[in-house]
Chains A and B, each alone.
Chain A
Amino acid sequence: MIDYNPNSFIFLYDETNLYGACSNDDPQRVDGYVFYFSHNECSFDRLTIEGRPDLSSGRVLRAFNLSRIYNIVRQPFIYCGLILQDASAYNKSMGLFLFKHLGIPLTPNLIKYLEDQSNEPKINEDMLSTFDPDYSNFLFFVMNPEVLEVHHVTPYTVIQYCLPPSKKGGKRKKTKRKKTKRNKNSRN
């Protein structure tokens, strides 16, 4: 359940801007897996870092949250949430996916955990495995930075190695696609 006391939220800010806030929840172990259910993540001011258009406030807030949780549990974990309709596409671009791609069984324990966290009364496999563009969707992400071989995972290492690259590109150079004439007989 969501606790609305002031320490329930963590804020991302600098001297002049408040870039975002997320709920300060603890991860939980369910069926041998560590889950973190994100109740709230909201970005506010726009983050501008010269030469890095990929470092948006939403992406950076997610990276801070993932690194915080990883440094608590010190093992791979499953980040999930009931993502609002308007934010579903954005979260899919950040690597979140439907339950059916997670590759673990939907047990009664896990159903209860997701129901308790989301306040959705009756969760079933169909509901978790179908993307509904007109409603909120349960989306999942596996945070597994162990490949990095680093002692302390920072938000920036999450952005560099754990999240999918932003379409805005960051430091990557743009490459021009070679234009080719499409064959009229091609099926593509």
Chain B
Amino acid sequence: MKPRAVVAIFVVLLALAPIALPEFYITLLNYIGLYALVALGLVLLTGIGGLTSFGQAAFVGIGAYATAWLTTAANLPAWLAPLANPWGGLLAGLVLTALVASLLGALTLRLSGHYLPLGTIAWGISIYFLFGNLEFLGGHTGIGSIPPLILGGLELRDGRQFYFLIWVVLLAAVWLTRNLLDSRSGRAIRALKGGVIMAEAMGVDTGRAKIVVFLVAALFACVSGWLYAHLQRFVNPTPFGLHVGIEYLFMAVIGGAAHVWGALVGATLITVLKQWLQDLLPQLFGATGNFEVIAFGLLMIFVLHRAREGLWPWLARLLPEQACRPASADFRGETLVRRPVPVAGTPLLEVNDAVKKFGGLVANDQMSLSVSAGEILALIGPNGAGKSTLFNLITGVDPPTSGEVRFSGQRIDGRNSRSIARMGMSRTFQHVRLLPAMSVLENVALGAHVRGQQGVPAAMLHLERTEEARLLAEAARQCERVGLGEHIHDAAGSLPLGKQRIVEIARALAADPSLLLLDEPAAGLRFLEKQSLAELLRQLRTAGMGILLVEHDMEFVMDLADRVVVMEFGKKIAEGLPREVQGNPAVIEAYLGGVD
């Protein structure tokens, strides 16, 4: 049985449920659907994007109150009159949510990890009290007699009718989310958790990717609120308080925060458990109150201690094996447009008197070097000589303290790594920076990110399949080129370290760079692998690429490089042809120590 068949059976069961089940279960399923929609947003935000929000209930509240107010207010200003119906309410809610989420995101997403959740806690409390104290929103009593939704002439007055709407919306949201994740923008989002520096070096705007997931999650929550308002036909502040926001996060984490279906599992479990505990615990304790939070708190602690991935991975093992290739991997896509190749000998990179200080430590002191098109320049030196620091200041990870860096004739010192990458400079990292759970192909496709244009809306609707096919085809070609053809569907983290370095090279090549910076590419490679790497680099040189290489393997360097620059203690101590450098007394002293 294929995964598609499982989904099909699930959908058929859902469609049959209203015929077979009594009212109570339909109501329960309605709530599960509404909660799962919010939790789905959190899966995207927290599980995949690595950003945590306790304030999603507030966005649900905005969605619910927007439509509640617009459809019931007695004397709306004239300019709002066209919105005085459920669809106008939905639109207004979405716009308002997008505004608030953009503002909140702009404020907190640039700060380190824990400011966003803290900000959302404060925001969740504020908006709860705001709902409760604004007179035109009915204060703590809320707003009643909200009109029912009318769909194709049918008034959705009872839960059974509403059921279909809720679940169609939820399944559509699942579909949109899955599409988004399986796309160029989705790869950028998946890089947010643990791959920000790498993604920026591949030209990905990670700040924008964060805002995108935050917005999508907020909008899902808003739609859930809109549905809730017209299902209940009554709103008050209680379901939009901070504790409900916390419950949404629990649903996502317990269900399996990194998996789209985890949202559904979590929402189901928490909703059913809550129903059951609310009956059981007050009897048990002989008092009334929300005692189920004790159980939820303990359950959550247990899950985070013992099964941080949540329940979904464990359930998924019972399901048929997921096909390991991405659904869209079609490698017959046309080739992407290539950047014009500069004539061999054109200067590409010029570093002039670059200085980098960390406090009192001068890591790079008056460093100068240049690389031309069709040339391999090797940068060598003992450990701690400042080679990686120089790499970082060329690629924009750390700006130089003073001095000048030029690339293709333009000054690039002070620019961020993203814009430098877009100009045609691509790099690998000394400490491999791959996304270990993603396939080799997808990792390499991240390198081709700058060569695509299609944005999030197109990705969610899968309208960008031609471009996506081209990107994946390009990634597959680069994998073949570096000899990883048989591994493209393996998880990148499962490869041996040497091969992971090669994946990094393929990823850099997928960006179609004119200048390639390689930080110790041969480390961990076996003899034959080194030979084929050298062969590849020679081909690239012939094709007109400039290559700056940091490497400790002297045989590899001396056979390959056109020129060699030697560093020690942050300074350049020699420069020249490999043969000249090998005979240079200063270099020999740096490597072997002085002769007494």
A binds B: no
Chain A residues packing against B (C-beta within 8 Å): none
